[in-house]
Amino acid sequence: MKVSARLVGTYLFLFTYIFFQFFRSAYVALMAKTDEDEDIPPFPDTLQDFEYYFNEERKLRHLETDEPFNFVVKPDNPKFNQKRYEALGNIITEHVYKLLEDRHLKKINIPVEADPDEPTCFFYMSEDALDKEKLLILIHGNGVVRAGQWARRLIINDCLDSGTQLPFIDWGIKEGYGVIVANTNYNTANDTKDGEEIMGSRSPEEHMKTVWQSFVQKSKASYIGIVAHSYGGVVTLDLAIDHIDEFRDRVFAVALTDSVHSFSHQYADDSVIDFYRQRGKNWASSLDVLDTDLDSHSDFCPTVSAGTEKHEYTSYSSMKSIFKFMSEKYQEMKKAAEGEETKTSVKESLEEKTDTEGTRSQEESEANDTEKINSVTKGKEEISMSKDILKADVSGEKSSTEKGKDVEVPMSQSEEDILDIEVSVTDNEGNEEIPMSQDFSSSQTDVDMNSQDPDGKQKEEL
């Protein structure tokens, strides 16, 4: 097929025009962004320089006017307003870190054995967290929030209590928990968008696995409770799938707030689903009254209302219900564990008693055998003496007969049998042990050799 030169020229012109327009648009946008950024001065890096503070109600207020935070400073420059808000957000992050440290939580770097030139990140942990019997783990959602925060917008526009994890931390410490505060969104060097990825924390899921494997697994905690918000529910489910045996043995409760996890998309098997059915609960955003049961839409985790339709507010609005849930689940698992310990203790006690009784029975059996042997030996001696006496009596009777009548009376067969009869002593199982001569009792009939009738026949004396 022949293609005319005119058609080729048309296609070439169109391609050139489109490429030029695309390049021109990109260039104009880049120059506009550069000019706009040049018009934005650097922002302060402290809360005071920003002219804001947190009052006694822990609400952000302006130092001079005592007014809440005002987002729109320049109505004609929305980019400036957004940049200012982000700069304040970075200051809030550092402020919350300080509040964690004021509660004696330590900053822990990961990876643990990083090289000096290797980028690291950190999370927070109470001083004795790894030595406590109970451990509370807090996991925030995705985005700009960092350790100790639920929602930056609430911290700035509402208060510290609703926007941070501080009330949960305070409750945990009061209840005797060790506390771990994850920092799952810290994934690159210096926490910058274009920074080098941090090994062991390249994603929220990897960050939590590193914390679990390097610290939680090695802790003394027998009872672990987890509270996770939004994407933190995805992170928690991912962790449960990889460590379901440990979750069944040590995690007594998983409290989720408006979680976006998915059992099907995350390929959770029946063992994980069963765990969530028994020990999990999700407080979802809803206009229904707090703790009202909700349709979980094929989600196997029990779901109730958080008492608010605001996603970011669900952790704070359901806080007291979560505390109650955690306490109840902890008691359930503790009682179950104590029941198992009691069964084990009773079993060991019975085994020890059985061993002791077995030893005692063996000793008693040996003593009975010794006593039996002694008795048999004594019986044999008595029978031997009886035989001697009987022989002597028979001899005496014979001598007397010879003197009186000069008639020799032979020993009867029964007398010979009496002297020669032997019996056997058997044990309890019927096994022959020691042969011995038969004992004679007063109930046996003796033959009086001196008592005869006139015809010379023997007379029995009853």
Per the annotation, the verdict on 262 as an active-site residue is: no
> Residue 69 class from Cβ within 10 Å (0-12 exposed, 13-18 middle, 19+ buried)?
middle
Lowest mean pLDDT among 98-107, 298-307, 376-385, 422-431: 422-431
pLDDT digits (tens, 9 = 90+) for 91-142: 999 999 999 999 999 999 999 999 999 999 999 999 999 999 999 999 999 9
> What confidence score (pLDDT) does residue 450 get?
42
Catalytic choice (126, 162, 201, 230):
230
DSSP annotation of 149: B
| Euclidean distance between CA atoms 142 and 148, whole angstroms | 13
> What confidence score (pLDDT) does residue 281 get?
98
Q: What average pLDDT score do residues 144-159 get?
A: 98
- What's the pTM? 0.69
> What confidence score (pLDDT) does residue 416 get?
46
Confidence at 148, pLDDT banded by 50, 70, 90: very high
Return the domain boundaries, the chain. 99-341
Q: Say which amino acid occupies 13.
A: F
Give the number of other CB atoms < 10 A from CB of residue 111. Answer: 16
Q: With beta carbons less than 8 A apart as the criterion, state whether 405 and 456 touch.
A: no
Q: With beta carbons less than 8 A apart as the criterion, state whether 238 and 266 touch.
A: yes
CB neighbour list of residue 148: distance below 8 Å, 6 or more residues apart: 96, 97, 99, 100, 124, 164, 165, 166, 169, 181
Q: With beta carbons less than 8 A apart as the criterion, state whether 189 and 198 touch.
A: yes
Q: What average pLDDT score do residues 5-19 get?
A: 60
Token couple for 30: 């880049």
pLDDT digits (tens, 9 = 90+) for 197-240: 999 999 999 999 999 999 999 999 999 999 999 999 999 999 99
β-strands 280-284, 52-54 pairing: unpaired
> What confidence score (pLDDT) does residue 40 get?
84
Its sign, for the CA torsion 300, 306, 308, 312, is: negative
Q: Say which amino acid occupies 301.
A: C
Token couple for 258: 């408006």
> What confidence score (pLDDT) does residue 348 get?
64
Confidence at 356, pLDDT banded by 50, 70, 90: low
Give the number of other CB atoms < 10 A from CB of residue 312. Answer: 22
| Euclidean distance between CA atoms 347 and 339, whole angstroms | 12
Higher-confidence residue of 14 and 181: namely 181
Give the number of other CB atoms < 10 A from CB of residue 355. Answer: 10
Give the number of other CB atoms < 10 A from CB of residue 348. Answer: 10
Q: Say which amino acid occupies 286.
A: S
Q: Which CATH architecture has domain 99-341?
A: 3-Layer(aba) Sandwich (3.40)
Q: 373 — phi, psi (to 5°)?
A: -60, -45
Q: What average pLDDT score do residues 226-255 get?
A: 99
Q: Residue 155 pLDDT > 80, yes or no? A: yes
pLDDT digits (tens, 9 = 90+) for 77-89: 999 999 999 999 9
Confidence at 434, pLDDT banded by 50, 70, 90: very low
| Euclidean distance between CA atoms 63 and 47, whole angstroms | 10
Token couple for 40: 């934005």
| Euclidean distance between CA atoms 74 and 82, whole angstroms | 10
Q: Residue 387 pLDDT > 80, yes or no? A: no
Where do runs of H (alpha helix) occur along 141-260? 152-157, 160-163, 166-174, 204-211, 232-242, 244-250
Where do runs of H (alpha helix) occur along 112-151? none
Determine what percent of the chain is predicted with pLDDT higher than 70: 65
Confidence at 372, pLDDT banded by 50, 70, 90: low
- Give one DSSP letter per residue of 363-417, joined into a string: HHHHHHHHHHHHHHHHHHHHHHHHHHHHHHHHHHHHHHHHHHH----PPPHHHHH
DSSP annotation of 371: H
